Amino acid sequence: MELLAILLFVSIFVLILYGFPVAFTLGGLSLIYAFCFLDPASFAALPPRIMGVMSNYVLLAVPLFIFMGIMLERSGLAEQLLNTMALLFGRFPGGLALSVVIVGAMLAASTGIVGATVVTMGLISLPTMLKRGYHPALSTGIIAASGTLGQIIPPSVVLVLLGSVLNVSVGNLFAAALVPGLVLVGLYMLFVFLAAYFKPNLAPPVPKEELAAFRGKGFARKVLQAFVLPFFLILAVLGSIFAGIATPTEASAVGALGAILLTAQQGKLSLPVLKGVAKETTHLTAMVFIILLGATTFSFVFREMGGDIYLVDLVRGSNLSPMAFLFVVMAVVFVAGFFIDFIEIIFIIVPVVAPVFHELDINLLWIGILLCINLQTSFLTPPFGFSLFYLKGVAPPEVTTRHLYIGILPFVFIQLLLLGLIVFFPQFGMLLQS
């Protein structure tokens, strides 16, 4: 029976790689195995399990954060923010690239939707960087890397889903992820600054005349509109969580309302925009939750077959140390990230390995941060990184796949460096965790 549970896991993975719909593969194949191999009496426990997941208060944050991100994307703030930050940092080496990192971090803290952020940044900043003489490899590398910051910087949909699956506090997961996320931003900026400083031809400075014109009349108003207001929205969302004033779900509602107000302040709020945002939010939320239903069924059947106990016994019998098992899981997740989306990985692989980590007495918050950074790294790694495909889809014809691959390598190295740092110094990822 335990071997059948492992066969179920492998079968689902293979079918998904072949292109079958994730949600129906998870739920459908699990039910087929259950009908064939489980006692019919055990089915009585499945509906309460599904209703328990669907009524999980924490998961209400998912549609609200998605709504917040899409609304801010439609507001036009991203373009305004990038232009303003580029001119604010214009006198520094690689000023435009530095502004891309900061805008990417702010969009990450506002949206948490990787695909949307990479596409938005690619459409807005890549033509501008190329026009100003930036090397295509550096331009695409910094855009792809900054666009995936939404995986790790809270409030992140990835962290909300990981908290639900690992059964840990989402607020604590947000707090644990904040410092690694900010360190990653700092490392990106340091690399860009050094690259532009030692090789100015990679990232030419902004002309002095343009800087002078920007700092003229209306300078304070431009900065207020483009930077300060979105910053206060992020501060309201994260600050209310970390201060204990609001739960992540309540803070997500604050963020959704704030995004509406900022869009209205930009003069972009209208009934068609509101309908479009609501429709896209419903589509993405339905996709997440139908996968969640399938994953709940899979997890139930897998455990009823004794798959989790079998894995624990297998790890013990193989004399794998906790660190060796962690390495194996991280390698599997990294490779899986080339082929399937993070939502599918969270709902397929994480429920299988979480009981083993728990049995080995490993901090699940720490595991959550490692998984998050690992997924982010696999999203960037050639030749299969999803972010590279997103960016290539909106890049001008003169930007080749080779530019993308070469440009992203330094940032993959930075990600791996941070991952190693958190593996060997776990307290680094827990500085703000209460």
How much is the average pLDDT of 240-247?
79
Distance in angstroms (rounded) separating the CA atoms of residues 300 and 294: 10
- pTM over the 0.85 mark: no
- pLDDT tens by residue, 324-379: 888 888 888 887 777 666 777 887 788 888 888 888 888 888 999 999 899 888 87
Look at residue 78 in the predicted model and tell me its pLDDT: 67
Burial class of residue 228 in the structure, from the number of CB atoms within 10 Å of its CB (0-12 exposed, 13-18 middle, 19+ buried): exposed
* Predicted confidence band of residue 69 (pLDDT cuts 50, 70, 90): confident
- Tokens at residue 268, please? 């972009």
Examine the pLDDT at 186 and tell me if it is beyond 70. yes
* Predicted confidence band of residue 411 (pLDDT cuts 50, 70, 90): very high
- Tokens at residue 267, please? 């003069």
Examine the pLDDT at 430 and tell me if it is beyond 70. no
For all residues of the chain together, what is the average pLDDT? 81
**Of 344, 349, 342, 352, the residue nearest 372 (C-alpha):** 342
How far are the Cα atoms of 7, 277, 283 from residue 66, in angstroms, in the given order? 35, 9, 10
Which three-class secondary structure state does DSSP give residue 320?
coil
- pLDDT tens by residue, 276-301: 989 988 987 887 788 778 878 887 88
DSSP state of 204: P
* Predicted confidence band of residue 110 (pLDDT cuts 50, 70, 90): low
Residues of the chain with pLDDT > 90: what percent? 9
Q: Within a 10 A sphere around the Cβ of 193, how many other Cβ atoms?
A: 19
Q: Within a 10 A sphere around the Cβ of 66, how many other Cβ atoms?
A: 25
Cis peptide before 155 (omega within 30 of 0): yes
Rg of the chain, C-alpha, whole Å: 22
Examine the pLDDT at 257 and tell me if it is beyond 80. yes
* Predicted confidence band of residue 409 (pLDDT cuts 50, 70, 90): very high
Burial class of residue 97 in the structure, from the number of CB atoms within 10 Å of its CB (0-12 exposed, 13-18 middle, 19+ buried): buried
Residues 6+ apart with CB under 8 A from 159: 152, 170, 173, 174, 177, 368, 372
Residues 6+ apart with CB under 8 A from 199: none
Look at residue 111 in the predicted model and tell me its pLDDT: 58
Residue linked to tokens 């209400």? 60
Q: Compute CA 337 distance to the chain's CA centroid, rounded to the nearest angstrom.
A: 12
Residue 27 carries which side chain, given as an amino acid letter?
Answer: G
Residue 391 contacts residue 404 (beta carbons within 8 Å) = yes
Examine the pLDDT at 116 and tell me if it is beyond 70. no
Burial class of residue 91 in the structure, from the number of CB atoms within 10 Å of its CB (0-12 exposed, 13-18 middle, 19+ buried): exposed
Residue 115 contacts residue 77 (beta carbons within 8 Å) = no
Residues of the chain with pLDDT > 70: what percent? 88
* Predicted confidence band of residue 191 (pLDDT cuts 50, 70, 90): very high
Examine the pLDDT at 169 and tell me if it is beyond 80. yes
- Tokens at residue 128, please? 């501008």
